[in-house]
A = this chain, B = another copy of it.
């Protein structure tokens, strides 16, 4: 039984976020000492699971749906492999983007849009968004505390 500040300390998350997560049903406090929440130590694992899901692009709601309040992924197996497939797509696009950036960092074409290599990389990345609208993906750089939020949503380009 640890209190919110200990959870905050160990997880790196501000207490406000922990309260927010509890309100959303993502974590649970197992009791109170006075007004103060008490958490079971395993909340840290649950938070790690949440962080993992978030970092893979799941929304808090999706994570909530996928994992019981208890903490165990009680997930629909089909949903799981669908998500895995989506991640595969995402990984492909990320790789194309990464290669594109690495190339852009060394290639000195007047406009990268005219560089055939860049264009090919771009095409690669866009492929997969083909036909339907699809996935989205994001990376945020480190901020020294006081970071600002960021958002994303991608409509697939029909191109």
Contact = CB atoms under 8 A, between A and B. Distances in A.
B142 A149 contact: no
A13 B156 CA distance: 8
Contacts of A140: 57, 134-136, 152-154
Interface in A62-82: 70-73, 75, 77-78, 80-82
Chain A interface bracket (under 10, 10 to 19, 20 to 34, 35 or more): 35 or more
B72 A152 contact: no
Q: How many copies does the complex hold?
A: 2
Interface string A113-135: 10000000010011001001111
A71 B119 CA distance: 13
Contact of A88 (B54, B90, B98, B155): B98
Contact of A86 (B51, B106, B141): B141
B84 A155 contact: no
Interface in A7-41: 9-13, 17
Contact of A101 (B87, B90, B98, B137): B87
Given A80-B104, A104-B75, A139-B135, A157 B48 contact: yes
Interface of A: 9-13, 17, 42, 44-49, 51-59, 70-73, 75, 77-78, 80-84, 86-91, 93-98, 100-102, 104-106, 110-113, 122, 125-126, 129, 132-143, 145, 147, 149-159
Given A91-B91, A133-B143, 4 more contacts: A49-B113, A51-B155, A94-B94, A151-B152
